[in-house]
Structures are given as C-alpha cells and as structure tokens.
Amino acid sequence: MDAHPKILIIRLSSIGDIVLTTPIVRCIKTQIPNVQIHYLTKANNAIILNNNPYIDRIITFNGSLSETIRQLKKGNYTYVIDLHKQIRSLIIRLRLLKPSKTFNSLRVKKWLLVKWKLNKLPEKHIVDRYFETTKGLGFNIVNDGKGLDYFLADEDYISPDALPLSFQDGYIAIVVGSKHQTKQIPTDKLIQLCQGINKSIVLLGDKNDRKKAIEVENAVGARVFNACGAYNLSQASSLIANSIGVITPDTGLMHIAAALNKNTISVWGNTVPQLGMYPYFPEDSKAKVYIFEKKDLSCRPCSKLGYKECPKKHFDCMRSLDFEKIISIANDWEVMRDK
C-alpha cells in the first residue's frame, strides 16, 4: 500500500445514509497509517460531517458532474470507495480512473421482498456490508464495534437552560416527520403519545413538519415544546443528545439518536428493518432500544422508501401499532432518569 494513501469516499445523500457511513470512515482513519480521507457529499449534507475528526476534507457536489470530476481529479486519490452506488457516483468512479470499490446494494433481493414478500436478504446491517468494500482494494478494515458517529459543534449546542423551565428536568424527544408520509407517525397517534407520556416532550422535525407539530402542541398543551423548523440539524441533534430518550420513525434522526447512544423507540410504517437500516448501536451500548412494527401485515413492506399516502388507504402498518405500550416504555425511562 502507498505510504500516504489518499481515499475518496462518496455518499451524496441522505441524512441517515450518511450517518451510517461513519463507522467505516472512523475505522479506515484509525487503522491505516498516514491515510487522508476526503468525503464527497451534497452541499446541504455537509453539516452532518463538518465536525467529524476522521475526515480531512469535505468536498461538496453542486449538481455539475463535469465540474465535480474536474475538481476530484486534482485530488489524485489512491482509492475510491463508492457508498452511494447510483449512476452519478458510477460516472465519477469511471472518470477518475483509480482503483475503486462499491458495496452490494442487494437491489434484486430488496425488490423480491417489496414486490413478492420473499425475504432473501442477509441478516446483515448495511454498516457491516459497507466494510466489505475495503477487501476488494487490498486492505481489510475491521469494524471496531463503536457504532455510528455524530459530532456536535459547540456553536450548535442548545443548552437545556434555553428551553422552558419545566423541560430542564428532562424531556423525551419525538420525531414528527420523515421525507415520506408512510413513514410518519399519524397526527392523532402523536397526540395519543404526548397525552400519555407523563414527561415534557420536545417535537423535532423541519419546517415542513411545523404545522403538524402545532396541531399536536395545541391538543396537548404546555408539556409540548415545538422545535420543528426552529433549529438546524446539528441543533436538533443536540436536543436529542440532552433528551432522556427518543421516539422516532425510520428517518435520519433515528440514526443520529443511535450515534448519540440514546434510548430509542423505533416506530416502523411501510418500511421494514430487514432492509438492513435499523438502529445501529455500539456493541457495549447501555441504551434501551425497542423496535415497533406490524410484522403480520401482508402488504408490508410496500416500498423500500415510502409514499405520500398509503396505497391501500388504511395505513394499518402504522395505525395498528401498540402506542399504549410505547407510552409505557417511555414513562419507564422517566422513572430511571429520575432515580
């Protein structure tokens, strides 16, 4: 191997997918002497990696393949690791003319699960599949078992003192939104959760989730703090870091909660953990992690991503979950915290 190897890692989007690449980034940096790691991602996702000490340089993709390739060629990389595996990342790899490797995205097996409910997928998290990319490049990086990384910037830290007084004794964070409606917890179920949990609650999401969160806030009252759209991603992540625990659908903040090693209730709608992107915690984690899903629903999974609405109009995958059990678990977190 080159005495001073320079590795380009490609993952353009999205929040959770990028967070899931952080273990291999860390392990490459700590296990290969004198290595430099550059990371290519979309500009709006750079915030996820800005404070990662294992990355020497973040290169942002501005939408122009030709301009990006021209910039990357100046890097003279030793190896390229493609953790995106889409047409754009393939073109970049081919144009750079450097030894490269990508991962097995298991598209056919995912299609079999979604289309025919035939599960031929390996019982292996995508994080562990990412590590297989290094073998084809002549070096074998070992997973250190330390889980995901998310590094908070000091300037983005939201102190508990910045919240209303009743929240400073501890709160539970609930993630309101997701890119796809069929991953989201319905509004009436959010209200049920917030009314049943006997602790202060911070609602997290972006500006698109604010209207939904206001409806919950109006129904429940002062025990709910609506943070949707009020903070950037790192600031919202600091609210997760300070929480007792997190209730979240299958979304980027679920993976950030795992990176911050928080108690987590993961609530699944039309997608399934078998797709290999369930919460990924350190081997020695003391966090309490629960997965709620409707396993015996014949139409699930209906997509590996999600839809604007349930194709069958009933949304039973989410609506039929035991939300009273979720409330009970969340209230137990409060007892443990107060002790």
Report the pLDDT value the prediction gives residue 139, as an integer from 0 to 100. Answer: 86
The residue range of the domain holding 218 is: 160-338
Structure confidence by residue, pLDDT tens digits, 171-205 = 999 999 999 999 999 999 999 999 999 999 999 99
25 and 89 housed in the same domain? yes
Decide if 84 is inside a domain.
yes
133 and 193 housed in the same domain? no
Decide if 150 is inside a domain.
no
Structure confidence by residue, pLDDT tens digits, 234-289 = 999 999 999 999 999 999 999 999 999 999 999 999 999 999 999 999 999 999 99
204 and 274 housed in the same domain? yes
3-class DSSP state of 242: coil
pTM summary value? 0.96
131 and 197 housed in the same domain? no
65 and 168 housed in the same domain? no
168 and 91 housed in the same domain? no
Structure confidence by residue, pLDDT tens digits, 23-77 = 999 999 999 999 999 999 999 999 999 999 999 999 999 999 999 999 999 999 9
- Order of strands across the sheet that contains 79-82: 57-61, 36-42, 6-10, 79-82, 100-102
Decide if 130 is inside a domain.
yes
Model confidence at 335, pLDDT cuts 50, 70, 90, reads very low
Q: What is the mean pLDDT of the chain?
A: 96
182 and 275 housed in the same domain? yes
Share of the chain above pLDDT 90, in %: 94
Decide if 155 is inside a domain.
no
Which residues face 58 on adjacent strands? 39
Can you tell me the mean pLDDT for 96-101? Answer: 96
- Looking at residue 98, its amino acid is K
Helix (H), strand (E) counts: the chain: 12, 11
180 and 91 housed in the same domain? no
Q: How far apart are CA 128 and CA 273, in angstroms?
A: 15
Comparing CA positions, the residue from 279, 221, 218, 211 lying closest to residue 248 is 279
Buried b or exposed e, range 69-79, using 16+ CB within 10 angstroms: eeebeebebbb
Whole-Å CA distances, 26 to 37, 136, 259: 10, 19, 13
191 and 295 housed in the same domain? yes
CATH code (residue 184): 3.40.50.2000
Helices 187-196 and 210-220, interaxial angle, to 10°? 40
Q: How far apart are CA 223 and CA 201, in angstroms?
A: 6
